[in-house]
Structure 1
Amino acid sequence: MKKPLLAVCAALALAGAGAPAAVAAPAPAAQATGFAGTVALSNCSGSVVRLPATQDDDPALVLSNGHCLETGLPAAGQVIVDQPSSRTFGLLNAAGTRVATLRASKVAYATMTDTDVSLYQLTSTYQQIRASYGIEALQLDAARPAAGTPISVVSGYWKRIYTCAVDGFAYRLKEGEWTWKDSVRYTAACDTVGGTSGSPVVNTATGRVVAVNNTGNEDGGRCTVNNPCEVAADGTVTVRRGINYAQQTYGIVPCVGTDNKVDLSRSGCALPKP
């Protein structure tokens, strides 16, 4: 996993969530898309997102990683729903300037089982965010991305954009006690670092979010924390040192219903349940 910033100070863990202030920010990368709608967390990146059926007066949602939760990493098999939260997020405009502080009312959903995702419900609606700051939310794509899709990983924490393509998919991605399904594997150009955890992965052809950045193999280790391995359907294990990964987000779409509420009982929803 891209480590949360506090963990970087204690131990170089979790590959996409952040680095302490003493660590120099990465050099700027080419920008294929802007930062509008992305957010900076205290230890990670994220984005304000909406779904195809979302209404303007719905409470807005922020997408990040399960391992970016302020309460710590969920255990394997743990699913969190409707947990009160007052976490704040720095909202960025297209140029990467922080224009507002948004506040959560709850963690609507979070897990590190099968995927690595958190969805925070905000105290603001999409309409209020647009009216106050001129910022539109990013839209989640309801379709699975294909290999070769051009993508941008947009980090609100570092204010950096990585551009590459979907190299392929890992049937299972195993890291420490956690296992994720059908993970996106980047081509080598997306060399994401600590602090980029939770960044939206945007299809640059459509502008829609297709995944959320979460981890990478740092040292060539085999299936350990910071060194995920790919496990094929036949059990074959492959280690790709220096390669980074994301978790697909199209599976979130069927699980969000009226008033932007996460409803795990909805038809077609396959997210893990408590």
Structure 2
Amino acid sequence: MRLRRALALGTALFATAGSLLVGTAPAQAAPAPAPAPAPAPAGQAAPALAARAVTLASTIRLNNCSASLVRYPNSASTDRAMMLTNGHCYEGGFLNAGQVLQNRSSSRSGTLLNSTGGALGTLRADRLLYATMTGNDVALYRLTSTYATIQNRFGTTALTLSNTHPTAGTSMSIPSSYWRRIWNCKIDTFVGTLRESQWTWHDSIRYDTACDTIGGTSGSPIVDASTGQVVGINNTGNEDGQMCTLNNPCEVAPDGTTQAYEGQSYGQQTYWFTTCLTSGRVIDLTISGCLLTKP
């Protein structure tokens, strides 16, 4: 798991290959202004703008993990906003294999960041909509504020969850609110079964080998660099080369054989949420084709 480790990691980690420390990128010419998007239908939140450099805007710093402010593709501006992080970042601790939580009261809070990692203010949740560490590693919270309220107060719009499976070779960014740092990487391939200790995940995203995420990056969104949409959530990496142990995930082949790659990092897909929504944007695990793990 990419939970926060000892803070003694320090600033020496901020210069490792394959990552970008916010504020240290070389100067570039300002891009031409993007054309104005078409107005959104009344009551519906404007879709995320595409093809802009990923920043720390819309990320949320938790006490032990990273998180992000997210919306469904058809979310309305009057909807309660949502916060996405890992299931293993749940405030009640790690969930057991096979455990699914839905519609639980919560008082989780985090700090909303601006594009350069500055603190804008505190966002609070009142409900855990869904969480699991089985099949996927996700936790989705409902916040006390609407998207419109957050935009009016902080000038921040939510990241949009993609409703399609990502593609191998795609350039992506992983903005970590905990470290206020961005990793720029690529999707290498997808792993049918990934196992770590008692937990098993499916169709996991394997990063290119230069993508050296560290403790504290758990819950960071995986953002498609070309669309600006969230295609996954960063969750783990093999730290010591061990096989299928805590902090050392292994890839499981169809015949049951396992392989571990020291230093390899992984994420989980998030379009699964969009396969389980009612017309009113409520998670319903009984919907045909719903990919989220059922209790």
TM-score normalised by the chain length of structure 1: 0.91
Question: Gaps spanning 5+ residues in structure 1: where?
Answer: 2-15
1:20 deviates by 4.0
Match of 1:135 in 2: 156
Given candidates 285, 289, 294, the residue that maps to 1:264 is 285
Match of 1:229 among 224, 246, 250: 250
Aligned AA for 1:192? T
1:206-262: CA deviations, max 9, x gaps? Answer: 111100000000000001111100011222311111010000111111223355432
CA RMSD of aligned residues (A): 1.3
| Residue 95 (structure 1) aligned with residue 125 (structure 2) | no
| 1:78 and 2:111 are equivalent in the alignment | no
Q: Secondary structure at the match of 1:27?
A: helix
Measured in 2, the distance between the counterparts of 1:130 and 1:268 equals 33
Letter matched to residue 171 of structure 2: P
1:240 aligned partner: 261
Instruction: Give the CA deviation at 1:189.
Output: 1.8
Match for residue 45 of structure 1? 66
**1:210 match: secondary structure:** strand
Deviations 1:164-220 (A, max 9, x none): 100111110000000000100000221001000000000101111100000000000
Aligned to 1:152: 173
1:199 is the counterpart of 2:186: no
CA distance in 1, matches of 2:3, 2:180: 13
The alignment partner of 1:170 has SS state of: strand
Q: How far apart, in 2, do the equivalents of 1:268 and 1:77 lie?
A: 19
Structure 1 stretch displaced more, 23-32 or 223-232:
23-32
Match of 2:75, SS state, is: coil
SS in structure 2 of the partner of residue 76 of structure 1: coil
Query: Alpha carbons of 1:259 and 1:42: their partners in 2 closer, same or farther (altered >3 Å)?
Result: farther
What is the percentage of aligned positions where both structures have the same residue?
A: 50
What's the secondary structure of 2:202's corresponding residue? strand
1:61 corresponds to 2:82: yes
Query: In the comparison of the two structures, how many residue pairs are matched?
Result: 260
2:10 is aligned with what amino acid? Answer: A
The offset of 1:266, in angstroms, is: 2.7
The one-letter code sitting in structure 1 at the alignment partner of 2:126 is: S
- Structure 2 stretches of 5 or more lacking a match? 23-52
Q: Secondary structure at the match of 2:232?
A: strand
Q: Which residue of 1 aligns with 2:44?
A: none
Deviation (angstroms), 1:36 = 0.8
**Which of 32-41 and 61-70 deviates more?**
32-41
Equivalent pair of 1:183/1:246 in contact (CA under 8 Å): yes
Partner SS, residue 182 of structure 2: strand
Separation in 2, partners of 1:232, 1:196? 27
CA distance in 2, matches of 1:101, 1:22: 26
CA distance in 1, matches of 2:67, 2:280: 21
Moved more, 26-35 or 166-175: 26-35
Paired residue for 1:17? 3
Which amino acid letter does the alignment assign opposite residue 164 of structure 2?
A: A
What is the one-letter code of the residue matched to 2:291? A
Work out whether residues 55 and 259 of structure 1, in 8 Å CA contact, stay in contact via their aligned partners in 2. no
Structure 1 distance, partners of 2:135, 2:93, is 18
**How does the TM-score come out when normalised to structure 2?**
0.85
Give the Cα–Cα distance (whole angstroms) in 2 for the partners of residues 22 and 219 of structure 1.
18
Tell me the amino acid that sits aligned with residue 27 of structure 1. Answer: F
Give the corresponding residue for 2:50.
none
| Larger Rg, first or second structure (1 or 2) | 2
